[in-house]
Structure 1
Amino acid sequence: MLMTKPHPTETAVSRVRRARPRTTAQIRLPDGRLYEAPVGTPLGTYFKAIDHTARHALPVIAALVNGELRELTYPVERDADVVPITLADSDGQRIYARSLTFLMIAAVEELYPEADITVDYALYSGGLYCVVNRRAPFTATELQRIEARMREMVDADMPIGKEHVPLEEALRHFEAKGYTDKVTLLKNRKKDYLTLYTLGKTRDYFHGYMVPSTGYLRQFALRPYGSGFALLYPRHEQPDVVQELKESPGLVAVFNEYGEWMRLMGISNVGALNEAQEAGRMREIILVSEALHEQRIARIASAIAQRQPRVRVVLIAGPSSSGKTTFSKRLSIQLLANGIRPVPIALDDFFVNREESPRDENGQYDFESLHVLDLPLFNSTLNRLIAGQEVTLPRFNFFTGLREEGNTISIDEDEVILIEGIHGLNPELVREIAPECIYRIYLSALTQLNIDRHN
C-alpha cells in the first residue's frame, strides 16, 4: 500500500483555527521576558508587577512601546515590544523634571497663592533655577515649608491626571491666572482643544509627558540660589543621587545678562517671539541682538587691553559649533580698536604626525584628545614668541597626515597671540607658559528661549 505525505501547505493550513478575540495582551522586555495582562491594562500596572520582582532596579517612569515614547497611563491594547525608561535615560530625566516642576507649582499655589513661579533655566548640577514673581523671593524657611508640603504630596501618591478641554476654556483659565505668556502662545493654536494636566486643584499645560502620580517623585530638594531658588533632582548619570548645589556666580551672571537682553528686546518666550514676527520686528531684533553681542565683545577686548603688556596669549575655548572662529574674527576687530594687533595661530598645525596620534578604545584615531597635539613644541613656540624671538611655525598637512614647515613670524609688544580650540581651558595645554601671560575665554550656547513660564 502506497503512503503519500501531505503537502507542507496543507499541513500549515490545517493548523489554522477560528479563534475568539483575545482578552489579554503581552509585553516583551529587551531581555526577552514576557508579561501578560488584560487588554487595556496601563503600562504602569505592568511595571508595578515587574518592579515587585526586581526591587533593586530604578523605578520605571515611562516606556518605549514599539519604538514610541509613552506615559505609564498608556493602555496596552495589543502585544508590544517595550523598553523601560528610567531616570538613567535622558527621556526619563526630562519627564521626571517636568513632573517635579508641576508638583512644586501645585505646592506653591496651595501655600503661597500670590506667588508666580517662572522656571528660568537648567542647572548643570541637576536641577532648575526658578524665579519668584509678584512677591519677594522665598526665604530659606519658606522653601523648607514648600519642600515639606511636596514630600507630603509624594507620600500621598496623588494622581497626576490629564483632561482634554476646549481651547477657549483653557485660555480663560490662563487669563484668570495672569499667565499672559501661555495665552499669547496658544491663541494661534490650530486645534480647538488643549490637554491640561491636573494635580489636586492645580491645572496647567506642559509640553511633554508626566509620571502618573506623585509617588514617583521621591528624590528632590529646594535650595536658595541667586535671587531665586533651585529645584534639584538627580542627573541621569547618577540617577539615585541628588547632587549638592554648586554655586556658579559666573554662570548666574551670564543668565542674568541674557535675561536683561531679552527684556530689552521684549522677547521673553516663544509667544513674544511670535508676536514680534507678526509685527514685522525681526530685523530690529536681529540688529539689536548683534549690537548687544558686539558690546560684550568690546568689553572683553577692553579687559585684555587693560592687562597689557602682560597678556600675550588669548585662548578661546568652547564645544564644536559654538562659534569660536566667528568670535575670534569679531574679537580681532575690537582688539585693533584698542591698539592691539592680533596674531592668530592655528592649534591644528601642532598635531603630531597622524601615525603618532593617540587612539580610542576602538582603535580609531582620537582627534579630540589633548595628546593629539605636540605639547612640548606648542609651549616652546609660545615662549619663544613671547620672548620676542623669530619662530618658524609648523603647518599640518591633513592630506598626508604629516607636519611640515610653515611661516616664520615674531610678535611685537603691541601684538597678542589668538588661539582657538576645544582645549583652550585645559591647563595642561599651556603648562609651561606663565599664567599672567594668558587670558582665557569660553564660548557656549548656554541660553535658550523658553516656551512659557513653566516650559
Structure 2
Amino acid sequence: MSTETITLTLPDGSSREVPAAATPLEVARTIGERLAKAAVAGQLDGTLVDLRAPVGRSGKFRVLTAKDPEAAAVIRHSAEHVLADAVERVFPGTIIDAGRQDHSEKFQYDFRIDHAFTQEDLERIEAEMARIVKEGRPFERRVVSREQAAEVFKGRKEEIKLVRLADIPEGDEITLFQHGEFVDLCRGPHVQRTDQIGAFKLIETSGAYFKGDERNEMLQRIYGTAFATREE
C-alpha cells in the first residue's frame, strides 16, 4: 500500500497532510462531521473532484456543499442519473444512451424507446424522480476493467452502452456510478445521496440522433434542470 502523502491548503489558509489516496469525503471528515454530511463534491485547484475519488495530489482544496455555486453542476449531473433511473422504472425495457458533459445550466439523457415522450410522460417521470430523490439512495463509484464494464451492460441488455464503452480510449480509467438498481458509465462527480437534489424540473423533449450523426438512429431526448433548493 502506498504511503505517499500530499498537502492540501484549505480556504482559511491552514493545511492538512493526508494520504494521496484519501478522498474528498475522508478529508471532509477530518475537518468536521457536519461538513462531511453536507458535502457535495471536492474542489482541487478549481477542478471538481468526486467525493469518492482519490484527491491524488497537493493543491488548494475545498469541500463544496449545496450552498456553493459550483455545486449546482454536480446536483444537475446527479439529477440526470435520477432521470434515467426514473425512465427505466416508468418505461421498462427502455434503452439508455448518455447524458451531457456540460451541467452548468441543465441536464439531459437520450433514450431508445418506441414512442415520442409526451407532456403526460414527463409528469409521470418527474413523479418517479421525486420518489427516488426521497429515497436518499447513495451514489456509489466503482473503478472497473473494460471487461467488467462490458459484463455489467451485457447483463442489463444495454447494447448502446457497449458502443460507448468501446469509445473510451485504451488506458483511460473506467468508472461506473450506481444508485439503487441504476448503473451507468460515468466519470462523475456526483452528490453523496439522491436526497441532496433539492429541486428539479423536466423542461422539454426532442429527437436526437445517436452520437449526433444523422446517419444513425433517432433517439428521444429529455432536458431538465435542478438546484439545491426550490428558492433557486
Q: Same fold (TM over 0.5)?
A: yes
> 1:42 aligned to 2:26?
yes
Aligned equivalents of 1:78 and 1:132: distance in 2?
38
- Residue in 1 that maps onto 2:176: 196
2:222 to 199, 205, 229: 229
Q: Any idea what SS the aligned residue of 1:220 has?
A: strand
The CA deviation string for residues 370-394 of structure 1, in whole angstroms up to 9 with x for no partner, is xxxxxxxxxxxxxxxxxxxxxxxxx
Q: Which amino acid in the other structure matches residue 161 of structure 1? A: E
Shift in alpha-carbon separation, 1:174–1:62, aligned structure 2, 3 A:
same
| Structure with higher RCO (Cα < 8 A, 6+ apart) | 2
Residue 114 of structure 2 is matched in structure 1 by: 135
Residue of structure 1 equivalent to 2:10: 29
Specify the alignment match of 1:100 in structure 2.
Answer: 79
What pairs with 1:11-410 in structure 2 (closer than 5 Å)? 29-32=10-13, 42-45=26-29, 46=31, 49-50=34-35, 60-65=39-44, 69-74=48-53, 81-85=60-64, 88-89=69-70, 92-118=71-97, 126-187=105-166, 189-191=169-171, 194-226=174-206, 228-234=221-227
How far apart in 2 are the matches of 1:128 and 1:179? 21
Is contact 1:44-1:73 (8 Å) kept?
A: no
**Could you say which structure has the higher strand fraction?**
2
Letter in 2 for 1:149: E
Is there any run of 5+ residues in structure 1 with no aligned partner, and where? Answer: 1-24, 53-58, 244-455
Q: Deviations over 1:200-231 (max 9, x none)?
A: 11221113322222122122112444465322
CA distance in structure 1 between the aligned counterparts of 2:83 and 2:28, rounded to whole angstroms? 23
Shift of 1:180: 3.9
Deviation at 1:159, TM superposition (A): 0.9
Shift of 1:68: 5.9
Equivalent-residue separation in structure 2 for 1:241 and 1:36 (angstroms): 38
Supply the AA of the counterpart residue of 2:142: E
The 1-side partners of 2:161 and 2:206 are apart by 26
Contact 2:77 2:107 in 1 (8 A): no
The residue identity in structure 2 corresponding to 1:215 is: D
CA displacement, residues 363-422 of structure 1 (integer Å, 9 cap, x when unaligned): xxxxxxxxxxxxxxxxxxxxxxxxxxxxxxxxxxxxxxxxxxxxxxxxxxxxxxxxxxxx
Contact kept, 8 Å, 2:176 with 2:187, in 1: the verdict is no
Contact 2:177 2:188 in 1 (8 A): no
Kept after mapping to 1: 8 A contact 2:117/2:205: no
Aligned length: 206
SS at structure 2 position matched to 1:42: helix
- Letter matched to residue 116 of structure 2: P
Q: Counterparts of 1:124 and 1:62 in 2: how far apart (Å)? A: 14
- Aligned partners of 1:223, 1:67: CA distance in 2, in Å? 30
Compare the two structures and name the one with the higher helix fraction: 1
Quick check: 220-229 or 204-213, which moved more? 220-229
Q: Does the C-alpha gap of structure 1 residues 109 and 27 become closer, same or farther in structure 2, counting only changes over 3 Å?
A: same
Distance in 2 (CA, whole Å) between partners of 1:48 and 1:107 is: 31
Is the contact made by 2:100 and 2:108 (CA closer than 8 Å) also made in structure 1? Answer: yes
- Structure 2 match to 1:397: none
With structure 2 as the length reference, what TM-score do the two structures score? 0.65
**What is the Cα deviation at residue 67 of structure 1?**
6.4
- Unaligned 5+ segments in structure 2 are 1-5, 208-220
- What is the percentage of aligned positions where both structures have the same residue? 22
Are residues 124 and 159 of structure 1, via their aligned partners in 2, closer, same or farther at CA, if it must alter by over 3 Å?
closer
Q: State the secondary structure of the residue aligned to 2:143.
A: strand
How much is the aligned-residue C-alpha RMSD, in angstroms? 4.3
Q: Which has the larger radius of gyration?
A: 1
The answer on whether the counterparts of 1:47 and 1:60 sit within 8 Å (CA) in structure 2 is no
In structure 1, distance between residues paired with 2:102 and 2:146: 33
Write the distance in 2 (CA, Å) between the matches of 1:94 and 1:125.
5
